Structure 1
Amino acid sequence: MVTTQAESGSPYRADCPTRHILDRIGDRWTVLIVGALWDGNARFSELRRRIEGISQKMLTQTLRGLERDGLVHRVVHPEVPVRVEYSLTEAGRTLREPLRALQEWAIVHLSDVSASQEAYDHAKQPS
C-alpha cells in the first residue's frame, strides 16, 4: 500500500487532515479550556467562570469538538439535577505543555508585541 503525503501528515497541503487538528489546538478557546482542565475535572459552569469572555454557545461548541477529537472526556452523573464533568483525556493531557508554552510566550512578549502594533499603526496613519 502506498502512503500519500496527506495520509503521512503534511499540514502545508490543503487536503491534509492534520489541518483540522491544527485548527482545533490553535484555537484560543481550546488553549484556555485545556488550561482550565489542567488540574482535573470541571463542570460546565465552572469552566465558564474560569474562562472570562467565552459565551455559553462557544464553550459548548468547543467542548463538543474537543470531545469528538478525543481530547476531552465528558461524564454525565445521573443525579438530580444532572451533573456533567469534563476532563482531559490522555491525548488531551499531552497538549498541556505545548499550550502552556504558548501561553507563557504570549505573557513574556506582550509588551514587545504591543509596542510593535502601536508603531505599525502609527506608521500607517495618514500624515
Structure 2
Amino acid sequence: MVMDGLSATRRPLVLAIAEGALRGVLAAHLTLHDHMPIICTDHLDPALGPALRAAAILVIEETLIAAAPEQWAETLRDQCWGGALIVIVHFMPDGVRETEGIALVDRAMAVSAVPELVAKWQASGTRLLNLPD
C-alpha cells in the first residue's frame, strides 16, 4: 500500500535541526544506519507537504518549536505533524512526559540514540516509549 508515493511500511524521516554541526553528524549517522532523512532547518517549510507531515517521523531540535515544553506535542500536532516525534533537548524539561510516539532525547546522546530509536519505531510502527538501551 502506497500513500501519495510514501511507503506504508517505512515511514519517511524528517530531520529539522538548526545547528549545522549536529544536523550534519546526525544525518550521517542516520544514513549509515540505512535511513534516508529529509534534511531541513525549518519544519514549517511548505515543501514538506501534508502527506509527508502526516506520515513522517520528525526529529526536531527544541529551539525550533515556538512553544513552552509542556506544549511541544500539541504545537507540532497543530502544525499537522501526525507521525512520531523525537525532540532533541539541551536539558530534560520538568513536567513533560513522553507518550506513545513522542520521545525526548538529550542532545548529548542524540547521535547514538536517535538512529536506534528510529530503527525501533520503523520496525514497530512507533509503539515504543522508551529510548534504546
Structure in which a larger fraction of residues adopt helix: 1
Q: TM-score range by the shorter chain?
A: under 0.3
Structure number having the greater strand percentage: 2
TM-score, scaled to structure 1: 0.26
